[in-house]
Amino acid sequence: MNNTNVSQSVLHRLTDEWEALTPEAQKAARFVLENPQEVGVSTVREIAEAANVKPNTFVRMARQVGFEGYEDFRTPFRDAIRQGNVSFPDRARWLQDIAGQGELGALYADMVGAALNNVQETFNAIPVEKLEEAARAIWHSRAVYTLGVGVNNSNARNFTYLASTGMVNFHAIPRPGSTPVDDIAWADQQDVMIAITCKPYRSEVVEAVKLAREQGMTIVALSDSPASPIILNSDFGFVVAADTPQFFPSSVSTVALLETLLSFVIAVASPEIVERVEKFHLRRHQLGIYNKDPN
C-alpha cells in the first residue's frame, strides 16, 4: 500500500461504494486507492489528467462517497504526502549503486525501517473484529485453500504447514502439476480460499478468485492495495504494506498477517485443537524428528 497516514476510512468508503460507481468513477477511485499520496498535492484538474478522466468525474465520485466535493475529499490526504513507487529495474540499479559507493550501512537501516513500518502500517489498518470474523469463517469451513504463486507460494505453503499441526483441512495451491482453478474444481460455499498477490498481480490468482466467488467460496484476500482485483472480489480483504528499498515487494507484513490470522483461528477453535497440537508434536519427538538436547 502506498500511504501511511491517510485516513483509512476514506479508502474504505471508496471500496465499499465500488460496485455503485460508474466505470469512469471506478477509474478515478482506482487511481486514488493506488496513489493516495497524489491526492493531497493535486488540483482536481491535475489528478483528473493523471487518472485519464474528466475533472467532473472526481467531483461526482467524491460526492457519491459522502463529501461535498473534491476539495473536501482531499483534505484527509494532505498530511500523507510521500514519494511514489519506483520500478523494479530502477530499484535494482539503485541497490547496485549503493553497494558500489560503500553505503550498505544506509541500506541496512532502510531495510529494517521499511520492515518495521510495513508491519505497523498493516496492523494499524486492520480491525481486530474483522480478523476474528475471518478466522471464524476459516474454522467453520469444510476446507481451506491457500493460494499463492511466485514468492507467495512459499508464504501460502508455510501457512498451510503451520495449520497442519492441528488441522487437516488446509491445502496449499496450486498443487504440483496442477492449476489453481483445477484445485478448487469441487469447492463451494462450504469452503474458504485465502488468496495472496501483490503488484504486479498474478493473473492465475486473480482468475482463481473470480471463479471461487462464482462457486460461492468465502474469500480472504491479502494484497497491497484496496483496489487490488482480489481485494475487490473478497469477503475479507486485508491490505498489506509491501514497500521496500529492494526491487521486489516485501513479504514481511504478509507473513506476519498470516501468522496472526492462524493464531486467531486457533483462538476461536474448539478446545480439542490444543490436544491435537500436543499430539502432533509428541509424535514428532517419538519419531526422533527433533534433535535431542545433549544436556
Contacts of 202 (CB under 8 A, 6+ apart): 149, 150
Residue 188 clears pLDDT 90, i.e. is over it: yes
pLDDT in tens, 44-58: 888 999 999 999 999
pLDDT in tens, 148-167: 999 999 999 999 999 988 88
pLDDT in tens, 201-215: 999 999 999 999 999
Q: How far apart are CA 13 and CA 31, in angstroms?
A: 14
Structural domains of the chain, ranges and CATH numbers in brackets: 8-77 (1.10.10.10), 128-285 (3.40.50.10490)
Q: What global pTM score does this model have? A: 0.70
Top pLDDT among 108 and 186 is at 186
Contacts of 210 (CB under 8 A, 6+ apart): 233
Q: Which pLDDT value is given to residue 113?
A: 81
Confidence band of 243 (pLDDT split at 50, 70, 90)? confident
pLDDT in tens, 276-294: 777 777 877 777 877 777 6
Contacts of 17 (CB under 8 A, 6+ apart): 64, 65
Q: Which pLDDT value is given to residue 11?
A: 85
Q: Which pLDDT value is given to residue 284?
A: 73
Confidence band of 193 (pLDDT split at 50, 70, 90)? very high
Q: For 230-266, b where at least 16 C-beta lie within 10 A, e where not — what string?
A: bbbbbebbbbbbbbbbbeebbbbbbbbbbebbbebbb
Q: How far apart are CA 76 and CA 31, in angstroms?
A: 16
Beta strand residue intervals within 127-191, DSSP E: 144-147, 170-173
Average pLDDT for the chain: 85
Nearest to 36 by CA among 8, 64, 16: 8
Nearest to 265 by CA among 253, 279, 276, 251: 276
| Residue 294: its H or E element | none
pLDDT in tens, 75-86: 877 554 433 344
What the block records as the C-alpha cell of 13 is 468508503
Residue 118 clears pLDDT 70, i.e. is over it: yes
Q: Which pLDDT value is given to residue 94?
A: 55
Q: Which pLDDT value is given to residue 81?
A: 41
Q: Which pLDDT value is given to residue 213?
A: 97
Residue 74 clears pLDDT 50, i.e. is over it: yes
pLDDT in tens, 212-237: 999 999 999 999 999 999 999 999 99
Q: How far apart are CA 24 and CA 33, in angstroms?
A: 14
Q: How far apart are CA 254 and CA 235, in angstroms?
A: 18
**Integer angstrom CA distances of residue 189 from 31, 137, 231:** 33, 11, 18
